[in-house]
Chains A and B, each alone.
Chain A
């Protein structure tokens, strides 16, 4: 070392030499150690990274496991709730009593299936599985029906799998809607008077069978009358033997048409007020003036009019039919060759004999008859059985039983109260003094109101788009379907359905084929379909809007070839119906067709010139009153929201 110091003139160089020589052994360490350290640190970091990646993949797997288990458990719960929505939860939802229901604990079926699911992933456990109904709101602030609402059904499920847990929430929209057909208490309901007071039953027969043979309910008839009232054809002689129709008694002032002398039988009816009847061409018409279907001339409080007559069928010689209020016997044949369909007549509108009635040996009539100014005129006709027994023939003496109905104004007020005045616009919902929207049981809501209530709203509904509701050989739907354009059935395929639902359009609707209820399933699934066409521009001012279009098909009815359409449905069409020539029939006009409606028909105006088939309305009231039978609960077919909160595994 000292030599370096002494080196004199080359000091700096010498010092360098000296440093280099002394540090030389350490240089290798200094060079290698950082590399080694770097490699160690780098390697360790790499290990950490790859290990954490590997660990993370397990955590991700566990997170997926809990998500799918939770989703599966919720699916089990939703399936159960969906199946039991009507029977078990509808009432609770309507009454807002579904609050944090512990489905896992309360429903053994759910518990069993959830446990079965969890068994597939050992190590997993369920923390909770609940259902909650919240945020219920009305469709409209002013709606009258307090039970209609929409809200959120929130399913929550907590699942734990090792160190990872999740709480999954799935939200489904729920709508509770009233699927009552417009004017469901009426077999036939018209809101606006006909332009021609004779128009209502001009043309082919208009027949209402008001007794629902399934439930026993009786439908009403309401024909809006104009200033001059309505004129109704009560009887007609078309193609019948002259002897086929017994004339009405002259003394009863009913008749100017009389070829036979009045029967003694009818003398007994003198005291009763009668519709005035005059002969117009080949028809006997009952002029129903002013506001009602029946003119009430006599202001006495009883025995206002004879509505129906029951015919004893104990003897074949006794006329088995009543036509236009008059017993009918086809002349001279032994035994009388009677075709039940001959009993059909325009008079049947009032419950006169129909085939069904004859078969049951009874004549049914509207429970209540409605007309313009319901509150003023309304009457309830109470039935008094066998008030009069009238001999119709002297040889041998036979009698018929006459039911007399009387009119009581006090009862009438009660009966009429729930219904709106005939002057009220059919579809417009007015608010009352409390600001609630009127929904009077007759009115059809506007299209946009139905659209709010629809669980399925789209541009077009046809057989293809209905496939999602396919249920074997029929469609199963509950709720409201809404579309701008609806095609029901196809040329070669009728429309068979179950469930309680409405198909509503504000554009156009066409019925291409028969509509049936699938009878097998109907035993267990309450079924009712209502077709509603309420065009956007329909109003009292604008009457010219599209009607429901229908196509008939060739058929053989009671031995006669005809063009028919059978509809197991209630129909509301703002502007009547319109015949369209289809592939299954060569009929050229509605007059050549026969339309059977097993339900009711309600229209703003029945345009009989354009729509004049043989129209047979067979009243059906399929919606049960009890247990909220007219309400349907729907869950949205897709999730409205999905929320998940995962913990652990980080």
Chain B
């Protein structure tokens, strides 16, 4: 069927169509847009908060995992050391993870820059009781990893995780 020419459509019909007709003539579109923009902006606040919170949590979780792995690494390094070389650090001496991490075969890998954020402390205490021989051959080791991060109020707070075990000269 052939489409009728535009000029064949009655004017009233054409006017009422493209220019908004009865409603459009009352300015409804702008109002709706404004209303929706307002609603949207209200809705976007929590949504943006959600994303912000999510991002902060992701960073927290990343930091916690890094700290956890550094704690594991530290305690395993202590286990691998000769027993007599396992010594305590000063309680105030927190050593950050920077510089050389792994080396060998002419290559070396440094700690990532981000790891400077983390600091470690090792507390080594001899056994609490038993024979003299036991006390000599038993050490309690507590590894602490500390790092700072911002809380929701953008204030810096300190986090510490600990791992504790006992090492023996026998193994």
Which residues does chain A contribute within 8 Å of B28, judged by CB atoms? 25
- A21 lies within 8 A of B23 (CB): yes
Supposing A51-B57, A53-B61 touch, asked if A40 and B47 sit within 8 A by C-beta, the answer is yes
Does B103 lie at the interface of the complex (its beta carbon under 8 Å from any beta carbon of A)? no
- B140 lies within 8 A of A120 (CB): yes
Contact of B43 (CB < 8 Å), options: A36, A58, A80:
A36
Bitwise, B1-37 to A at CB < 8 A (1) or not (0) is 0011000111011001110110110001100110010
- B13 lies within 8 A of A9 (CB): no
Supposing A9-B4, A64-B68, A109-B134 touch, asked if A120 and B128 sit within 8 A by C-beta, the answer is no
**Total contacting residues, chain B, CB less than 8 A:** 62
Does B89 lie at the interface of the complex (its beta carbon under 8 Å from any beta carbon of A)? no
- A32 lies within 8 A of B40 (CB): yes
Q: Taking the nearest CB of chain A, how far is it from the CB of B47, in angstroms?
A: 5
Does B51 lie at the interface of the complex (its beta carbon under 8 Å from any beta carbon of A)? yes
Q: Taking the nearest CB of chain A, how far is it from the CB of B38, in angstroms?
A: 11
Contact of B161 (CB < 8 Å), options: A54, A61, A82, A116:
A61
- B47 lies within 8 A of A43 (CB): yes
Does B151 lie at the interface of the complex (its beta carbon under 8 Å from any beta carbon of A)? no
Complex: A13 Cα to B61 Cα, angstroms: 58
Complex: A24 Cα to B33 Cα, angstroms: 11
Supposing A50-B58, A58-B64, A113-B129 touch, asked if A3 and B13 sit within 8 A by C-beta, the answer is yes
Bitwise, B131-168 to A at CB < 8 A (1) or not (0) is 10110011011100000000000000000011111111
- B13 lies within 8 A of A75 (CB): no
- A121 lies within 8 A of B140 (CB): no
Q: Taking the nearest CB of chain B, how far is it from the CB of A185, in angstroms?
A: 34
Complex: A17 Cα to B13 Cα, angstroms: 9
- B61 lies within 8 A of A79 (CB): no
- A113 lies within 8 A of B23 (CB): no
- A53 lies within 8 A of B58 (CB): yes
- B16 lies within 8 A of A17 (CB): yes
- B165 lies within 8 A of A43 (CB): no
Complex: A68 Cα to B21 Cα, angstroms: 77
- A109 lies within 8 A of B130 (CB): yes
- A120 lies within 8 A of B142 (CB): yes
Contact residues of A between 108 and 125, Cβ < 8 Å to B? 108-109, 112-113, 115-117, 120-121
Q: Taking the nearest CB of chain B, how far is it from the CB of A138, in angstroms?
A: 27
Chain B minimum-CB-distance residue to A16: B17
Complex: A64 Cα to B143 Cα, angstroms: 12
- B61 lies within 8 A of A46 (CB): no
Chain A minimum-CB-distance residue to B56: A50
Supposing A7-B13, A68-B75, A78-B170 touch, asked if A28 and B33 sit within 8 A by C-beta, the answer is yes
Complex: A71 Cα to B127 Cα, angstroms: 15
- B64 lies within 8 A of A21 (CB): no
> Footprint of A on B, CB under 8 Å?
3-4, 8-10, 12-13, 16-18, 20-21, 23-24, 28-29, 32-33, 36, 39-40, 43-44, 47, 50-51, 53-55, 57-58, 60-61, 64-65, 68, 71-72, 75, 127-131, 133-134, 137-138, 140-142, 161-171
